[in-house]
Amino acid sequence: MPHVLFVFGTRPEAIKLAPLIEELRRNPSFDVRVCVTGQHREMLAQVLRLFDIVPEFDLDLMTLDQGLSEMTAAILAGMRDVLRSTRPDLVVVQGDTTSAFAAGLAAFYAGIDVAHVEAGLRSGDSLAPWPEEVNRKLLSIVTRYHFAPTEESRANLLREGTDPAQIFVTGNTVIDALKKAASRIDGDDVLRARLDSEFSFLDRRRRLILVTGHRRESFGSGFESICDALAEIAGEHEDVEIVYPVHLNPNVMLPVHRILGRNARIHLIEPIDYLSFVYLMTRSEFILTDSGGVQEEASTLGKPVLILRETTERPEAVSEGNARVVGTDRETIVSETRLLLHDAAHRAAMSQPSLAFGDGKAAERIAEVLLEATLSDRCRAASPRAT
């Protein structure tokens, strides 16, 4: 029975891998185990609870305001020990975090095949998002099975010389997670009532803008500028309310609370669980975010997105008309937000639900490929083992 080890460390990886873990666990052909690095703690625990994932291994590495070098080194050492003791046939990682990159590298050093979910995204700028653009490129080099969400991500991999036979276009597993969450909310009156009451502080007569932000390249002046823009928007629109679940990174939390903490129409809340966040996305009129996953989810739900970054590796959201890259400049954020608030035709044009990121069956497709690959023993036929 092929032994597959999932390794992840942050909230978005967990959300995006949960549907695949569930899919493989349903299939008796696989022996599935989970290792969390602990890059995130509370924000990861929320997702593990929701999707009922109990990790077999927890490196428990999170430290306050952690540095990239320390985290990378700790994950490499921690993973070396886990891989030595468990010898999986395949390590599955997702996305572009330090956890994904370092776990992929550790698997490569141990002579174990790597499957990369959400492969091939590229912004074209090594410094934005930072360090994710470089993480995902480095990961592609050590990956054997590249699961590209879209044709564009496949094209990026081909341009870099990746073997076409090792690339599989599957859609993004986040859409699987989103659809499951949305149908859970739709089909459960008690849950919906709980969510209504969790957010009873929001005034239904006001128009809701949802905000998230956490990119490292925006720390400092970028975040201050975003916060100034939010204060200006709330100040000039009495009929608007902003809700902002604030990332626990102190480089985010401190400026956000300092600048926006006293604003009556801006609700700064703690990170919320995935069901609550999906509920808030559906209640919002539009979304301001620098998150990768939220760009995909919002486009799928038909919620306009202003991307608070200089560039995006999700160009599909822009070409489909759902998103605009507005950066972190205060004036640009304010004027683009005004346009969405005041120009109904513009808002409607950006509110068409998009299928660009997937149809909710990505996990099924990935499982099929992995089953075929592992059964034909391609994993074990890889390069000589080194420990």
Footprint on this chain of ligand UDP (rule: CB under 6 A): 11-12, 15, 174, 212, 214, 245, 271-272, 274, 277, 291-294, 297
Measured CA to CA, the distance from residue 197 to residue 191 in angstroms comes to 10
Give yes or no for residue 72 binding ligand UD1 (CB under 6 A): no
Q: Which does 37 bind (CB under 5 to 8 A by kind): ligand UDP, ligand UD1, none?
A: none
Measure the CA–CA gap between 321 and 304, rounded to whole angstroms.
Answer: 8
User: Tokens in use for 169?
Assistant: 């276009």
Q: Which does 41 bind (CB under 5 to 8 A by kind): ligand UD1, ligand UDP, none?
A: ligand UD1
Question: Which listed option, ligand UD1, ligand UDP, none, makes contact with residue 98 (CB within 5 to 8 Å by class)?
Answer: ligand UD1
Q: Which residues contact 102 (CB under 8 A, 6 or more apart)?
A: 37, 71, 72, 75, 76, 79
**Which residues does 237 contact at the CB level (< 8 Å), separation at least 6?**
207, 341
End-to-end CA distance of the chain: 22
Only one of the segments 5-13, 154-162, 220-228, 301-309 lies at the binding site for ligand UD1 (rule: CB under 6 A); that segment is 5-13
Spot the catalytic one: 113, 132, 176, 316: 132
Between 36 and 350, CB nearer to ligand UD1: 36
The nearer residue to ligand UDP, 248 or 382, going by C-beta atoms, is 248
The stretch among 50-58, 91-99, 224-232, 294-302 that binds ligand UD1 (CB under 6 A) is 91-99
Smallest gap, in angstroms, from Cβ of residue 272 to ligand UD1? 13
Query: Can residue 38 be called a binding residue for ligand UD1 (CB under 6 A)?
Result: no
Choose one: 7-15, 25-33, 366-374, 377-385; the region binding ligand UD1 (CB under 6 A). 7-15
Please tell me which residue in 118, 152, 176, 290 is annotated as part of the active site: 118
**Known catalytic residue: 214?**
yes
255 touches, from ligand UD1, ligand UDP, none (C-beta below 5 to 8 Å by class):
none
Active-site annotation holds for 247: yes
C-beta of 158 vs 268, nearer to ligand UDP: 268
Question: Which amino acid does the sequence have at 147?
Answer: F
The residues in 46-65 that bind ligand UD1, with binding defined as CB under 6 A, are 62-65
Residue from 3, 25, 33, 41 touching ligand UD1 (CB under 6 A): that is 41
**Which residues, numbered 234-273, are part of the site for ligand UD1 (CB under 6 A)?**
247-250
The binder of 245, among ligand UDP, ligand UD1, none, by C-beta within 5 to 8 A per type, is ligand UDP
Residue 14 or 259 with smaller CB distance to ligand UD1: 14
Which of 131, 255, 315, 360 touches ligand UD1 by CB under 6 A? 131
CA–CA distances in Å: residue 128 to residues 181, 246, 323: 30, 21, 17
Residue of 96, 217, 290, 296 marked catalytic: 96
Query: With binding defined as CB under 6 A, does residue 166 bind ligand UD1?
Result: no
40 binds, among ligand UDP, ligand UD1, none (CB under 5 to 8 A by kind): ligand UD1
CB 61 within 8 A of CB 42: no
Instruction: Please say if 132 is a catalytic residue.
Output: yes
Among 3, 87, 192, 216, binds ligand UD1 (CB under 6 A): 216
63 vs 313: CA distance, rounded Å:
28
Least CB distance to ligand UD1 at residue 75 (A): 10
**Catalytic center residues:** 96, 118, 132, 214, 216, 247
Binding site for ligand UD1 (CB under 6 A): 10-12, 39-44, 62-66, 68, 96-98, 131-132, 214, 216, 247-250
